[in-house]
Structure formats: structure tokens, C-alpha cells
């Protein structure tokens, strides 16, 4: 065996926190050779195959760094894969061929020829029975291992197909093309199951998560998108790179995502939270290929024009073994679709509100739960919505649901549909016959239970205390004040921007935004009468999370037909568009250089808060929109300020903002709050919410304006923006 020189690096990046594990990451070995275009670990992790630009495949021992063997091709390989059973190594590339190498007898077994252009990507099904290939000729072909004629050829793509992947069960395939379209085919019945626009520009990489729940795609719009594999809803959008996303890989337990980009960075992140847990130093060029070792104690990367493959050692990254076992059972088709059951029977009631109780059990993660009536979806919940209420019983995940439903006169029949990666189950509910009372008129209050709380509230002796928020704000509950089921609140505190974006340091964060949001959240529960189930509380919210929360409020206001009262609070970065001067709220994964696609326009937010004639909407925004910020700012190095465009306020909306014009919204470091929010909460604590909107407006304008000079030696004057439609009446509005 030829010994390949191995370079050891002493570059250690220290201990990084991955969930509950301390993980040490360092550049472990570097294997000399030509530039690699694709990488693949063998199923046992003992071999690493590199598709080498110089028309060959090189296979290396991952422990010793020795070259085990290589074989020549007629063109540059672009994709390489081991079969899951470890018997074959399959490659494809610019020669428009697919080469199948037999690892047991060390020979090229056969070559597949059918594509008319470069074969850009291949994958092999979990049972090592089929190969799928994608090509610049806009086709996707399915082959049976051992046969040289394709079983099926799909020609639905409108652009060249750059990436293709099998579902963990092997029942479907996905592909992404140069037009940004993502395709999904059912290969058991040979038809196109889904086709939708996933990216603006090329899709470079697609994959199913090993647990089958999600479809992931990366493209030239710098995004890694996550879709439900069942109904293709956008679940998450990761904005962790500053240039094209070229490649990514997913850990075997579906917890971690390793990605490489044209920005030159290799990034390891937690899929569920979007939090970056490791970022490499900037490489000399863009990342061409990455792959996880099966046991995840290593991952490999290749860089454009670099004559070496880097292997990175992840010393203590323990995978979730339960997740791996479920994925293995899924692959072997040992898991069934969920079961649905009801605890109630057919009944007759004179009460217009009915609480539907049901139970969903699944051997793996529940993907979605729908409640329908007459074909219309009333509720839709994903795993993220229900995961905190899941119990595990005898190898099953069990969710017990309870939904308040508004009955129609006569017979009511609902359907509960539950899905997982295997399939779906639909079951009709018991029949509920509503007999409307003749003599008694009742006022029915519709309670919306779908909004779930994301933070726990600590209560003791009728008090709710804010812990570790600087000033010890303590809000005493008013026991005489009932909660108002028509009141809803969305509270957002975006502080840790650097944890979600490459190229940002901690100085770009918004100090004390978590404290600010926590204080307002606690006050809303204690004194605004907002029921806990009507609160949405987000810390370090990404773009997709903020958009979903706003849309949830829109759905609530539509359902309540003018009876909803909405409170919105935001602490974090704001930024204006340089050309239009339109102000935007910036999610933690949002870019001030790409506002249209990664931030929320303030005009859009205001419109959504009142689109369904909300009874009253009140917004508090502790952010500035001039380009300045509490500390150095998201783009402080640009050294300019913009006077943002004034926003149109309509209907029953009133907005309290932390500053005016091109002023910055400053911190109150001694109190560990934003200056505006500190005095807002101080007045709310003093009055317990017994204050009119006009009194609060006058107090904030004067107090913050004066204190800003005294504390920060800068001008900061809050503004109150009022819709012309409520002129003459808003002054007497009160918060209770």
C-alpha cells in the first residue's frame, strides 16, 4: 500500500458546547492529493472515498491516512457514494457515465450509459437495490443495481439537475435544479408528487434527514431551507452563510448540519435551534464537498483548488442513539403510520363550544396533526408545536390533544389526521349534535388554544418575578382582574446575532434584549390580562420563526372577526433599506445587506396587525432604524446613518418607538436593559398598568429624552405614532 503523507495540525478551536456535550474540534489530518469534488464515508466509517478532479477515485483508510486503492475514469467525477451494504462504490461525472466498482473483488463491475450530459449527482437507496442519478441533461434516472438499463427516467425538470437523494425508506426521491425548483417523485408508482420553488437561483444540494421528517436544500440564495417531507411546508430557513451554499451533510441522528459555502467557511450547527456551534477559519477558496463519518467522530471537507482533503476530529460529539435506532428501523420499514383515537363518544349538547379530545401515538416522531371539518383545515400543528407535550410510552411517542371548537347547529363531525415519515392516518371524530337553546342566548367566547407558550412562567404566592433581568421587576397579580380571552401578545427579544451568523462578533449583539422581552412578557401576563395560552414568546428569533408568529396572530384576528386585541413587543436590531429608506426588523439570522429576503418590513408588520380589523393593536419597538444601535450595531463599521421613511399607521393601531428619526436606541447598562424599555417597565410597575396611552406617551417622551443625555450623553426621544382613524380617542385608552 502506498503511504500518503499526513500533515498534523496543532490548530485547536477549543471546547464548544453541543447540547449537553463538550466537543473539541481541531483539524486532524490532511491527505495530499489532487482537488476533490465529492467525498463519501463507507458505512463502517473505515474508508473515505474522494472523487478527484484528475479523473479518478481515491479511497483512503480513515484511521491511518493511507491510500487503500484508486481507479481511473474517463472524465472528472462529480459525485461518489458507497452502497449502504458496503459492497459497492458508485461514481459519476463529466463523462456522462455512472461507474459501479465492486469492493469485494476490487474491479469495475459495469458502467451505466444513458445520460446525454454530465452526471452531477447520484444516491443509493437504503437497501442497496437502486441507484438514482441526476444530470445536466435535465433528467433523473432510476437504475436497479446489477442492471445496465434505467428502470425509469423522469424528465419533469426545467433546469439542469444538480442534486438528487433517496428517502430513508426508499419510496421517493427528491432533486433540485438550476431554476431553484425542488422536485419529489414517488418511485413506487412513478409519478411526480410535488414541484415547488425552493430557492432564488440554483439549488446545489438536496437531502432527506435520516429520520425522514424533513427535506433540506441549499442554494445560490445563501439559504439552507428545511421543508416538511409530508406536505412540503417550509419549517426553517437557515441563513448561516454569506454566499452560495455549495454542499451540506446531516449527522446520522438528524441533530447536526455541516455545511460548506462559497464564502469559504465550514459551519456546524444544531438543526433544531439554528445555533452555530463551530465555524472554521476562512478557507483559501470555497468548500466543494463535506461528509459526516457514520459514527460522527469525524467529518471531512474539500476546498476548491486545494490539493488535500481535510479530516476534522470531533472528539466528544455523542449522537442520540434513540434517534439512530429509529432511523434504522425506518430504513428497514419496521415502522408504521401513526394511530389516532378519541376518548369521547357520540353526544348531544346545548353548549356551542366543544372540547375535542384525541390521542396520537407513533413509533417515531409525529410530523403533523391536522383537524378538519368539511375539508377545511381548522388546526395544523407540527412536531415543534407539540414536542413539549409528548410522552414516551412503550417505544411510542404519544400526544394527547385537546381543542376547543365552535359547533354548528346540528350534527358536527371532525377529522383528525396524523402523519409521520412513513405515512398518514385519518380518523373521524364522534358525532357531536349541537341543539341551540331556544330561550337562553349565550355569548360564546372562542378560545384559541393553538398558540403555545415557549417559556415557562415562575409563579409563587400570586407573584411573578423576573429572574436575572437587571432591575428586580416584580409584578403582583391583580386577583380581581380576570384574563381576557380576546387579548394576545407576541413578544420578541433578539440579542445573540453572532451565534446565528458567520462573520459577526459578539459586539454585533443587542445587549439586554432578552431582559427587555422577558420583562414585557411577565408584565403582559400579570397586568394586561393576556392568558398564558395566548402568548407567543420568542428569544433570538430567526426569520422563519418571526414570520410564522406574525401569521399566527393574523389567523387569530381573522377567526375572532374584529374582537381580538393584540400587543406586539420587539427588542433587537432594526435597519433601513439604503435606497428606499424603508425600515426593517432584523431576525438573528437576517442580513442588513439582504433585507428583502431576510428581514421583516415594518410596513408589512403594521399591515398584518390590523389586516382583519383588530379591535386594538399596540406595538412597542425598542430598536432604531437609522443604522445605529445600542452598542456597535449590526453594520456599525459602515459609518453612516439614514433617516428612515415614516410609516403609515392605519386602523386601530398605535406604536410606541424607542427613538426618533436618525437617533439610536441606547442601553441603560447599569440596569441591564434598553433605556426605553427600562423606563417603560418602570412606569408599568409603578402603575400596574393603570395608565392611559396619553399619560404613558408623555412620560416616555420626557423621561427617556432627559435620561438619555444624563446616562449616555446622546439624544434619544421616543415617538408615539397614531393612526389618523383613532385621533381624538386614543388618549383615553387604558392598558387594563
Burial class (CB in 10 A: 0-12, 13-18, 19+), 430: middle
Q: Does residue 276 share a domain with residue 237?
A: yes
CA-nearest of 275, 267, 242 to 496 is 275
- Residue 695's pLDDT band, with cuts at 50, 70 and 90, is very high
CA angle centred on 614, ends 611 and 615, rounded to 5°: 155
Whole-angstrom Cα distance, residue 404 to residue 450? 9
In a domain, 70, yes or no: yes
Q: How many CA atoms lie within 13 A of 107 on its CB side?
A: 3
Output the 3-class SS for 458-523: CEECCEEECCCCCCCCEEECCCCCCCCCCEEEEEEECCCCCCCCCCCCHHHCCCCHHHHHHHHHHH
Q: Does residue 526 share a domain with residue 430?
A: no
Q: Does residue 294 share a domain with residue 199?
A: yes
Q: Output the CA torsion 699→700→702→706 (10° steps).
A: 130
CA-nearest of 303, 328, 481, 322 to 396 is 322
How does pLDDT run across 73-84, given as a tens digit for each residue? Answer: 999 999 999 999
Q: How many CA atoms lie within 13 A of 702 on its CB side?
A: 7
CA 463 vs CA 12, 345, 457, 474, 531: distances in Å = 48, 41, 11, 7, 15
- Whichever domain contains 351, its CATH number is 2.60.40.10
Whole-angstrom Cα distance, residue 133 to residue 163? 8
How does pLDDT run across 425-447, given as a tens digit for each residue? Answer: 999 999 999 898 765 444 433 33
Paired with 80 in beta bridges are: 91
Q: How many CA atoms lie within 13 A of 481 on its CB side?
A: 18
Burial class (CB in 10 A: 0-12, 13-18, 19+), 116: exposed
Report residue 546 CA to chain centroid gap. 10
How does pLDDT run across 40-60, given as a tens digit for each residue? Answer: 999 999 999 999 999 999 999
Question: Has residue 495 got a pLDDT over 80?
Answer: yes
- Whichever domain contains 179, its CATH number is 2.130.10.10
Among the ranges given (331-340, 364-373, 619-628), the one the predictor scored with the smallest mean pLDDT? 619-628
Q: Does residue 558 share a domain with residue 411?
A: no
When pLDDT is averaged across residues 699-723 and rounded to a whole number, the result is: 92
In a domain, 67, yes or no: yes
DSSP per residue over 513-578, as a string? HHHHHHHHHHHHHHHS---GGGEEEEES--HHHHHHHHHHHHHHHHHHTT--EEEEEEES-EEE-T
Residue 720's φ and ψ, nearest 5 degrees, are -120, 115
- Whichever domain contains 705, its CATH number is 3.40.50.1460
Whole-angstrom Cα distance, residue 565 to residue 616? 5
Query: Under 8 Å CB-to-CB from 719, ≥6 apart: which residues?
Result: 656, 657, 659, 660, 701
Report residue 672 CA to chain centroid gap. 29
| Average pLDDT, rounded, for the chain | 84
Q: Does residue 370 share a domain with residue 323?
A: no
Q: Does residue 496 share a domain with residue 401?
A: no
- Residue 631's pLDDT band, with cuts at 50, 70 and 90, is low
Segments forming the whole domain that contains residue 308 = 19-331
Whole-angstrom Cα distance, residue 168 to residue 425? 20
Query: Which pLDDT belongs to residue 96?
Result: 97
Domain end: 313, 331, 349, which one?
A: 331
Q: Are strands 653-657 and 616-622 parallel, antiparallel or unpaired?
A: parallel
DSSP per residue over 99-153, as a string? EEEETTTTEEEEEEE--SS-EEEEEE-TTS-EEEEEETTS-EEEEETT-SS-SEE
Whole-angstrom Cα distance, residue 322 to residue 326? 6
- Residue 382's pLDDT band, with cuts at 50, 70 and 90, is confident
Domain end: 293, 314, 331, which one?
A: 331
Paired with 376 in beta bridges are: 373
Query: Which pLDDT belongs to residue 198?
Result: 96
When pLDDT is averaged across residues 302-317 and rounded to a whole number, the result is: 82
Whole-angstrom Cα distance, residue 511 to residue 224? 28
When pLDDT is averaged across residues 613-619 and rounded to a whole number, the result is: 94
Q: Residues for the chain: how many in total?
A: 736
Which of 527 and 569 is assigned the larger pLDDT? 569
In a domain, 100, yes or no: yes
Q: Does residue 691 share a domain with residue 561?
A: yes
Paired with 392 in beta bridges are: 397
Give the DSSP letter of residue 626.
Answer: S
When pLDDT is averaged across residues 314-321 and rounded to a whole number, the result is: 70
Q: Does residue 270 share a domain with residue 171?
A: yes
Q: Does residue 291 share a domain with residue 358?
A: no
Query: Which pLDDT belongs to residue 462?
Result: 36
Q: Are strands 347-349 and 432-434 parallel, antiparallel or unpaired?
A: parallel
Collapse the DSSP code of 595 into the 3-class scheme (helix H, G, I; strand E, B; otherwise coil) and give the result: helix
Question: Has residue 635 got a pLDDT over 50?
Answer: no
- Residue 634's pLDDT band, with cuts at 50, 70 and 90, is low
Collapse the DSSP code of 632 into the 3-class scheme (helix H, G, I; strand E, B; otherwise coil) and give the result: coil
Whether the full predicted model's pTM is greater than 0.75, yes or no, is no
Cα dihedral sign for 220, 199, 162, 51?
positive
In a domain, 472, yes or no: no
Question: Has residue 702 got a pLDDT over 70?
Answer: yes
CA-nearest of 251, 142, 273 to 207 is 251
Q: Output the CA torsion 418→419→422→428 (10° steps).
A: 30
In a domain, 1, yes or no: no
Query: Which pLDDT belongs to residue 278?
Result: 84
Give the DSSP letter of residue 178.
Answer: T
In a domain, 706, yes or no: yes
Query: Which pLDDT belongs to residue 62?
Result: 87
Number of H helices, E strands in the chain: 8, 55
Q: Does residue 162 share a domain with residue 78?
A: yes
Give the DSSP letter of residue 645.
Answer: P
Q: Output the CA torsion 150→154→157→162 (10° steps).
A: -30
How does pLDDT run across 286-303, given as a tens digit for each residue? Answer: 999 999 998 767 889 999
How does pLDDT run across 167-209, given as a tens digit for each residue? Answer: 998 889 999 999 999 999 999 889 999 999 999 999 999 999 9
Number of domains in the chain: 3
When pLDDT is averaged across residues 113-131 and rounded to a whole number, the result is: 96
Q: Does residue 359 share a domain with residue 311?
A: no
How does pLDDT run across 551-604, given as a tens digit for each residue? Answer: 999 988 888 888 899 999 999 999 888 788 889 999 998 877 778 878 999 999
In a domain, 315, yes or no: yes
How does pLDDT run across 444-488, given as a tens digit for each residue? Answer: 333 333 333 333 333 333 333 333 444 446 666 555 667 888 999
Residue 71's φ and ψ, nearest 5 degrees, are -145, 150
Whole-angstrom Cα distance, residue 195 to residue 369? 23
- Residue 507's pLDDT band, with cuts at 50, 70 and 90, is confident
Question: Has residue 644 got a pLDDT over 70?
Answer: no
When pLDDT is averaged across residues 118-147 and rounded to a whole number, the result is: 96
Collapse the DSSP code of 231 into the 3-class scheme (helix H, G, I; strand E, B; otherwise coil) and give the result: coil
Query: Under 8 Å CB-to-CB from 189, ≥6 apart: which residues?
Result: none
Question: Has residue 114 got a pLDDT over 50?
Answer: yes
Output the 3-class SS for 54-111: CCEEEEEECCCCCEEEEEECCCCEEEEEECCCCCEEEEEECCCEEEEEECCCCEEEEE
CA-nearest of 210, 474, 228 to 331 is 210
In a domain, 455, yes or no: no
Domain end: 281, 309, 331, which one?
A: 331
Query: Which pLDDT belongs to residue 447?
Result: 39
Query: Which pLDDT belongs to residue 222?
Result: 93
Question: Has residue 636 got a pLDDT over 50?
Answer: no
Paired with 12 in beta bridges are: 26
Q: Does residue 347 share a domain with residue 297?
A: no
Amino acid at each position: 500500500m502506498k503511504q500518503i503523507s499526513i500533515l498534523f495540525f496543532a490548530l485547536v478551536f477549543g471546547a464548544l458546547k453541543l447540547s449537553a456535550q463538550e466537543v473539541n474540534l481541531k483539524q486532524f489530518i490532511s491527505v495530499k492529493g489532487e482537488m476533490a469534488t465529492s467525498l463519501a464515508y463507507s458505512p463502517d466509517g473505515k474508508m473515505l472515498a474522494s472523487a478527484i478532479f484528475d479523473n479518478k477515485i481515491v479511497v483512503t483508510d480513515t484511521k491511518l491516512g493511507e491510500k487503500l486503492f484508486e481507479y481511473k475514469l474517463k472524465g472528472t467525477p462529480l459525485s461518489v457514494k458507497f452502497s449502504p451494504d458496503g459492497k459497492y462504490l458508485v461514481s459519476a461525472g463529466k463523462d456522462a457515465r455512472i461507474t459501479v466498482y465492486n469492493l469485494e473483488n476490487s474491479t469495475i463491475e459495469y458502467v451505466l450509459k444513458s445520460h446525454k450530459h454530465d452526471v452531477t449527482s447520484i444516491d443509493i437507496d437504503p437497501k442497496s437495490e437502486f441507484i438514482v442519478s441526476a444530470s445536466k441533461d435535465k433528467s433523473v434516472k432510476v437504475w436497479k443495481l446489477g442492471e445496465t438499463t434505467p428502470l425509469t427516467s423522469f424528465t419533469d425538470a426545467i433546469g439542469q439537475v444538480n442534486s438528487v437523494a433517496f428517502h430513508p425508506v426508499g419510496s421517493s426521491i427528491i432533486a433540485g435544479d438550476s431554476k431553484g425548483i425542488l422536485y419529489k417523485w414517488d418511485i413506487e408508482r412513478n409519478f411526480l408528487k410535488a414541484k415547488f420553488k425552493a430557492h432564488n437561483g440554483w439549488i446545489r444540494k438536496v437531502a432527506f434527514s435520516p429520520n425522514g421528517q424533513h427535506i433540506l436544500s441549499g442554494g445560490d440564495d445563501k439559504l439552507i431551507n428545511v421543508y416538511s417531507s409530508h406536505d412540503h411546508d417550509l419549517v426553517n430557513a437557515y441563513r448561516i452563510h454569506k454566499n452560495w451554499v455549495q454542499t451540506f451533510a446531516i449527522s446520522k441522528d438528524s441533530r447536526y448540519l455541516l455545511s460548506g459555502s462559497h464564502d469559504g467557511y465550514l459551519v456546524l450547527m444544531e438543526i433544531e435551534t439554528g445555533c452555530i456551534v463551530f465555524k472554521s477559519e476562512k478557507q483559501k477558496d470555497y468548500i466543494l464537498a463535506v461528509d459526516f463519518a457514520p459514527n460522527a467522530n469525524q467529518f471531512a471537507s474539500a476546498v476548491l483548488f486545494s490539493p488535500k482533503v481535510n479530516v476534522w476530529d470531533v472528539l466528544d460529539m455523542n449522537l442520540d442513539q434513540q434517534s439512530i435506532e429509529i432511523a434504522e428501523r425506518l430504513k428497514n420499514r419496521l415502522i408504521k403510520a401513526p394511530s389516532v383515537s378519541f376518548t369521547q363518544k357520540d353526544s348531544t349538547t346545548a353548549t356551542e363550544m366543544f372540547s375535542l379530545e384525541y390521542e396520537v401515538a407513533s413509533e417515531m416522531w409525529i410530523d403533523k396533526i391536522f383537524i378538519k371539518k368539511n375539508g377545511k383545515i381548522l388546526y395544523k400543528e407540527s412536531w415543534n408545536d407539540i414536542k413539549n407535550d409528548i410522552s414516551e410510552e412503550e417505544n411510542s411517542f404519544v400526544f394527547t390533544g385537546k381543542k376547543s371548537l365552535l359547533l354548528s347547529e346540528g350534527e358536527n363531525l371532525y377529522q383528525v389526521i396524523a402523519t409521520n415519515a412513513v405515512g398518514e392516518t385519518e380518523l373521524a371524530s364522534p358525532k357531536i349534535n349541537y341543539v341551540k337553546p331556544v330561550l337562553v342566548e349565550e355569548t360564546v367566547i372562542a378560545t384559541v388554544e393553538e398558540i403555545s407558550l415557549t417559556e415557562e412562567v415562575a409563579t409563587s404566592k400570586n407573584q411573578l418575578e423576573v429572574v436575572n433581568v437587571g432591575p428586580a421587576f416584580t409584578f403582583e397579580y391583580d386577583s380581581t382582574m380576570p384574563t381576557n380571552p380576546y387579548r394576545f401578545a407576541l413578544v420578541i427579544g433578539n440579542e445573540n446575532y453572532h451565534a446565528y451568523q458567520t462573520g459577526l462578533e459578539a459586539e454585533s449583539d443587542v445587549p439586554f434584549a432578552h431582559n427587555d422581552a422577558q420583562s414585557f412578557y411577565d408584565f403582559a401576563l400579570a397586568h394586561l390580562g393576556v392568558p398564558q395560552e395566548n402568548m407567543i414568546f420568542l428569544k433570538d428569533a430567526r426569520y422563519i420563526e418571526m414570520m410564522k408568529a406574525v401569521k399566527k396572530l393574523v389567523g387569530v384576528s381573522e377567526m375572532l372577526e374584529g374582537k381580538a386585541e393584540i400587543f406586539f413587543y420587539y427588542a433587537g436590531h432594526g435597519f433601513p433599506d439604503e435606497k428606499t429608506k424603508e425600515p426593517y426588523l432584523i431576525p438573528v439570522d437576517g442580513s442588513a445587506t439582504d433585507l428583502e429576503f431576510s428581514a421583516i418590513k415594518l410596513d408589512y408588520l403594521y399591515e398584518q396587525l390590523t389586516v382583519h380589523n383588530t379591535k386594538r393593536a399596540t406595538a412597542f419597538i425598542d430598536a432604531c432604524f437609522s443604522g445605529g444601535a445600542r452598542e456597535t450595531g449590526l453594520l456599525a463599521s459602515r459609518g453612516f446613518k439614514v433617516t428612515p421613511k415614516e410609516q403609515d399607521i392605519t386602523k386601530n393601531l398605535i406604536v410606541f418607538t424607542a427613538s426618533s428619526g436618525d437617533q439610536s436606541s441606547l442601553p441603560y447598562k447599569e440596569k441591564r436593559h434598553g433605556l426605553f424599555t427600562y423606563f417603560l417597565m418602570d412606569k408599568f410597575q409603578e402603575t400596574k398598568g393603570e395608565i392611559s396611552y396619553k399619560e404613558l406617551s408623555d412620560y416616555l417622551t420626557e423621561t427617556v429624552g432627559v435620561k438619555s443625555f444624563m446616562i449616555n450623553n446622546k439624544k434619544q426621544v421616543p415617538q408615539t405614532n397614531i393612526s389618523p382613524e383613532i385621533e381624538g380617542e386614543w388618549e383615553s385608552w387604558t392598558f387594563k
